[in-house]
Amino acid sequence: MSSPLFGTICLVGIGLINSSIARAARLHGLAARIVTLDASEQACETALRLGIVDAAGSDPAALLAEADLIMVGTPVGAMAAVGQAIGPHLKAGAIVSDVGSVKMAVVRDLLPHLPDTVHFVPGHPIAGTEHSGPEAGFAELFQGRWCILTPLPGTDPGAIDKVTQLWTAMGSMIEIMEPLHHDKVLAITSHLPHLIAYTIVGTASDLEGDMQQEVIKFSASGFRDFTRIAASDPIMWRDIFLNNKEAVLEIIQRFTEDLTALQRAIRWGEAETLETHFRETRAIRRAIIDAKQA
């Protein structure tokens, strides 16, 4: 029987993504030991009760001493504090990675606190649900999904390879990107859709009582999909928008211009313009289905 990929994996934060990593790593035998470092006593107790980790607590010294891989799964806004907490306790040769939806901010806030003796391989699994917490995870979350790694120039190739092996063993496909390019791509594929969803659901919540109840009662699939997206973790998304503001604001400006053009077409009854636009955008949906990312 082959030895595990890692001796000990320490999951910093045990929310949806890291609890799914714990389950998948356990299922596929990727670590001899899995521990979690989390400030929430309740989250630690839940993870232990579920049996997805071997140890849990809030003491970095106790949980990081033997960790070969540290996977940071906290909100992006907490990265500097996490770096300060874990940096002094990392053993030489350990690999530090993360699952944040923004990469430039992670590099900016986490890297300065890491010792030169460890390897830093930022990452972002393009997977998730609207649920959060250790009970929300499941081992199959990453099956057939992309995981983007954004290592900096000069990163040890062996460390990148081990993180790649972890994600592929859990079912993911790997893409390597520069952090800035990642943030621009995700601004349109993930961040803008969430902002629109929060806005649309917020508009519905501002309607008068009777109208609001009818919107809820007669929700069509489109509105239901928006409410699912808008149910995502508010702290996580607050931090994503604040830490990817340049890319998000640029995409919002382009979206606003496109929306204004459609508004004008509707106002002036430009049927051909609307039909042409809708036909062109259908191709994107077909491409997503063909890529098995629907």
Domain ranges of the chain: 6-178, 181-290
Question: Where on the phi/psi map is residue 269: left (φ > 0), alpha (ψ -120 to 50), or beta?
Answer: left
Question: Where on the phi/psi map is residue 144: left (φ > 0), alpha (ψ -120 to 50), or beta?
Answer: left
pLDDT number for residue 31: 98
Q: What is the CATH number of domain 181-290?
A: 1.10.3660.10
Q: What is the pLDDT of residues 205-222, one digit of tens each?
A: 888 778 888 888 887 777
Low-confidence stretches of the chain (pLDDT < 50) are none
Looking at domain 6-178, its CATH superfamily turns out to be NAD(P)-binding Rossmann-like Domain (3.40.50.720)
pLDDT number for residue 220: 73
Given a contact cutoff of 8 angstroms between Cβ atoms, the answer to whether 178 and 150 are in contact is: yes
